[in-house]
Amino acid sequence: ETLRLKAMPCAGAVIVCYVGVSTLVPCVAHWQLHGFSPLQTFLAFFCGLNALICVWELALAYELRRIESDFRKMKERYAADRLRALGDFFLAPAEWSLAFWSRIWSTYALYDESYADKRSYGYWIDVGNGHSTLLPSLLWLVGMTFPVLPPRWLGLIGLLAFYQEFYGTVLYFSQFVANKRHRGKTTLELALFVALSNGIWLVGPLVGFIASANLLFSQTFEIFR
């Protein structure tokens, strides 16, 4: 039986709380040790957020049958109001289980059916990212402040991880448009749930890639100081 969260029963509140804590705690530690760094602050936000998405992507990998089943039901239930599906998810009582968080994908599949189809590029790129970028994200979250690795090694890991995230997002946007998955969606839906949500994975990895190259070639952490 899954464990329900008592203090914050709402999934939306859990997400907001997590993003706040995963950004604020590393930033406060960095500010106390090295002073304020806009670059570290932004990448702390992005790496913490990406780690959360990685967990969701593990749910995408291991709860696909549930996602496919939920999507078929939701497609009928929310056919005339896809936004309500998102609201219902955010207001649902949260649980510590991949099964619960897999609902984010059956909901998103209302906008892009790739995420209920393991034959699609969208499915496999996110499953791959979930397995390969979780540890690098956590390592960067800590490594920008504490010298857990030499700058050269942290930079090398960052180059690989951030490049993969950026390249994957570019291809995702390309196939989304090429397959005309934007048709039948409102401008607001496309702006919020496709452009904004995925756009973060264009800007974040690009900034991270540049920071990684600096670490690799300068062999110092001065870019974060």
* pLDDT of res. 8: 55
Nearest to 55 by CA among 10, 100, 92: 100
Note whether 71 and 46 are within 8 A (CB). Answer: no
* pLDDT of res. 1: 43
Residue whose structure tokens are 């609201």: 87
Below-70 pLDDT ranges, the chain: 1-8, 193
* pLDDT of res. 195: 76
Q: Which residues contact 112 (CB under 8 A, 6 or more apart)?
A: 122, 176, 181, 194
* pLDDT of res. 61: 96
* pLDDT of res. 187: 79
* pLDDT of res. 2: 46
Please tell me whether residue 10 adopts helix, strand or coil conformation. strand
* pLDDT of res. 206: 97
* pLDDT of res. 63: 96
